Structure 1
Amino acid sequence: MSAKQITPVISMNFLTTLKPVRFLKTLKRLQFSGQLVLTGSQGEEWLFYLYRGSIMYATGGIHTVRRWHRNLAVHCSQMLANTSAWRDILAGINTTDFTNCWEYQLLCIWIARRDITQVQVAQVIRSGIAEVLFDIAKVSNVTHQIKPDNSLSSQLPLIDVDEAIKQVEQQWQAWQEPKIINYSPNQAPVIKQAKKLQERSSTDIYQTITKLLDGQHSLRDLAVQTKRDVVALTHLILPYIQLGWVELITIPDLPTPVSGEKLPTPPKKDSTRVLVACVDDSLQVRQTMEKLLTTAGYQFLGVEDGVRSLGILLTRKPDFIFLDLVMPNTNGYEICTQLRKLSSFRDTPIVILTGNDGFANRLRSNFAGASDFVSKPFDTKTVLDVIDKHLKQDAVISH
């Protein structure tokens, strides 16, 4: 689709009168927790995750994955340089268990593993919210739906609704110039008349332009690549667009790193059965634990890979966790320490499993935040007693 087909939005105070923006402000006052789903006239869908009236994350629209790549490139480029690693993390997680979008899950895992900082996470979230709000403002006839969800928990920095609106207002005003208002930063410039462009440009400029304006990268993508403001970049190529030498076209999003365009709603946990997780690289230990726990009436979650365990535990949120002390590439102390930093596991009973029941190990387990210590080989009575002990303690504390 060419740029001429985009309907301009003219009002300078459009953001303050935009119904979804007003609705966000209302949800802030109500301290709403859950999802706000916005749908555009062409079927575009955006999601805001809110916790007690603040924005946890915003996603959706036509370029969800492109936005994710751009924000990583700007705020934590080291993670974009290793896409295979975070794709592997997502591949190891059952996507039907996602309570939030996959981007948020990755950020939670990275922050727990100290791969990125809280400042970087906040920057990624703010930038994503700003883009989503901007894109919503470019669309007419947006409908909304709210999905209350009090099970949501804040594991990452929260963004104030008014702060987010203020940030995008500056970007929105800059885009209201008559020469560019009809265009979208999601469109991609492509050379339409290469011969005329070559005749009127120096060799260096022509080579640079042809390399950048390949029709595969949006204006926002190019702004990040060239380290320019998207408005300034658009003005640079505007003369070529006005001459008809360059055209702005609509391009698809990049492939999603998870299977399926939309993730199904996660199943609700059976509240009558406690879920017990065992993170251990030994198949024999996991099988033994599964047999005795399921026989006793518990649900069981076995996790082999200690490195991937954070993501799996985040999505399943077990009621009780056993951690092997020694595993390839990590250990129970490290995983326990990382789990305790997440609000979801601050009070979850975590028991270390080890074949070396020494004072030093017990002391270190306490420092890591472990609830208890069980020696290998273990028997049924020991396992069931330690579960009963700590779940009863939790029940007393919660009351």
Structure 2
Amino acid sequence: MDIKELNQLLKLPNNKFEGHLILKGHDIIWTLHFVQGRLIYAADGLHGVRRWNYTINQNFPKFKLNIAAAQLSTHQYWQLYLLDQGFKEQQLSLVRAKLLLRAVIQECLFELSQCTYVTSEWQPAELPVSRLCCTIALSPWEIDIILNKVNDMQQAWQHLGMTGTSPQLSPTLKNPVNHQHLPISHQYLTGTYTLWQIATNLAQPIEEVAKPLIPLIQDQSLELKKLPDLPLANVQLSPMSLSRVPDNATAVSMPQQSSVIRSSPISAKPYELVP
């Protein structure tokens, strides 16, 4: 999907609409939340908990909410609930919350840009967030900046020969390798971190993380594997609650609603989760 098609999708909700834009492609579901026509969060059906954890840990390492993870099961769109609670408990600042939001949305839009076929469904709804939380919703100008960045990422990803390979995959060493010869720390090549998470932890662009790994992939020393999501009970609510990702973690599926207001197919470029 090219940037023009992505931009077309994001303009479906006008400034009078509030609700969820559900996008489906290759058995993956993305939910984009809009308030007054502005994008306030994006989540995918694969790594909602993982993405929240590493993004919140990067932007708010001291983030702590006085709620239990068990409470989240009662909230269909739990990320919006946590953002709102973060403002109410004064754990989030507007500036850094914007940075968090941009990082999450940029990742989701990049993944969408790799899809071959996407259908869209608009679900009107009143978002359960405060006015203060609504102020972090992205303006059209901010969306344009993100789309320009996604376009640059597309070109860099294609130049690396990684088209069709998802950053949600996890690099995993197949054979013993001298740790001193590895381009990044061995801990990131044990099948417990996605490429997105590694890039976030190292504060590097995704293409810079992937580039030195390509020779290892080519000589079959390294493979990229699918990684399930963490259970919702493992969502980060305090600095101590972010635990190591278990290899056999149970995936969290995105709740779906039945009402459909608009549905339209869009074709684009190849994208798969399997490298």
Structure 1 stretches of 4+ moved >4 Å: 150-154, 206-209, 262-265
Structure 1 residues 106 and 128: alpha-carbon distance in aligned structure 2, compared to 1, 3 A threshold: same
Shift in Å, 1:38? 0.9
Write the mapping of 1:106-185 to structure 2, written as runs, cut at 5 A: 106-150=82-126, 154-156=131-133, 157-167=136-146, 168-185=150-167
Local SS of the residue matching 1:216:
coil
Q: Secondary structure at the match of 1:181?
A: coil
Deviations 1:171-226 (A, max 9, x none): 333322142223221111111232xx33xxxx534596533210121111112233
Match of 1:236 in 2: 212
Q: Does 1:38 align with 2:38?
A: no
Is structure 2 residue 49 aligned with structure 1 residue 73?
no
Task: Name the structure 1 match of 2:222.
Answer: 246
Give the secondary-structure state (helix, strand or coil) at the position aligned to 2:13. Answer: helix
AA of the residue aligned to 1:91: A
Read off the aligned partner of 1:236 and give its amino acid letter: P
Matched, 1:23 2:4: no
Distance 2:256 2:223 in 1: 38
Matches within 5 A, 1:182-261: 182-194=164-176, 197-198=177-178, 204-205=180-181, 209-257=185-233, 261=253
CA gap 1:152/1:23 in 2 versus in 1, 3 angstroms = farther
1:101 alignment partner in structure 2: 77
- After superposition, the Cα gap between the structure-2 partners of 1:253 and 1:161, relative to the gap in structure 1 and judged at 3 Å, is farther
SS in 2 for 1:47: strand
Residues 151 and 191 of structure 1: CA distance in aligned 2, closer, same or farther (over 3 Å): closer
Please tell me the residue identity of whatever aligns with 1:122.
K
CA pair 73-174 structure 1, distance change in 2 beyond 3 A: farther
Which residue is 1:54 aligned to? 38
What is the distance in 2 between the residues matched to 1:142 and 1:207? 36
- Helix, strand or coil at the partner of 2:122: strand
Q: Conserved in 2, the CA contact under 8 Å of 1:16 and 1:22? A: yes
- Closer/same/farther in 2, CA of residues 47 and 165 from structure 1, 3 Å limit: farther
Contact kept, 8 Å, 1:24 with 1:161, in 2: the verdict is no
The alpha-carbon deviation at position 129 of structure 1 amounts to 1.2
* One-letter code aligned to 2:171: P
Whether contact under 8 Å (1:40, 1:142) holds in the other structure is: yes
Higher helix proportion (structure 1 or 2): 1
Partner amino acid, structure 2, of 1:46 = W
SS state at 2:22 partner:
strand
Matches of 2:156 and 2:132, distance apart in 1: 33
Question: For the Cα contact (< 8 Å) 2:171–2:225, is it kept in 1?
Answer: yes
What are the ranges of 5 or more consecutive residues in structure 1 without an aligned counterpart? 1-10, 266-399
Computed over aligned residues only, the root mean square deviation of the Cα atoms, in angstroms, reads: 2.8
Greater relative contact order structure (CA < 8 Å, 6+ sep) = 2
Report the CA distance between 1:263 and its aligned residue. 4.7
Within 2, Cα distance between the matches of 1:37 and 1:207? 38
Identity of aligned pairs, percent?
24
Q: Who wins on radius of gyration, i.e. which is larger?
A: 1
Which residue type is aligned with residue 180 of structure 1?
M
Question: In 1, Cα distance between the equivalents of 2:145 and 2:81?
Answer: 27
Q: Which runs of 5+ in 2 are unaligned?
A: 236-249, 258-275
Asked whether the 8 Å contact 1:130–1:165 carries over to 2, the reply is no
* Preserved contact between residue 44 and residue 254 of structure 2 (Cα < 8 Å): no
* Residue identity in the other structure for 2:159: E
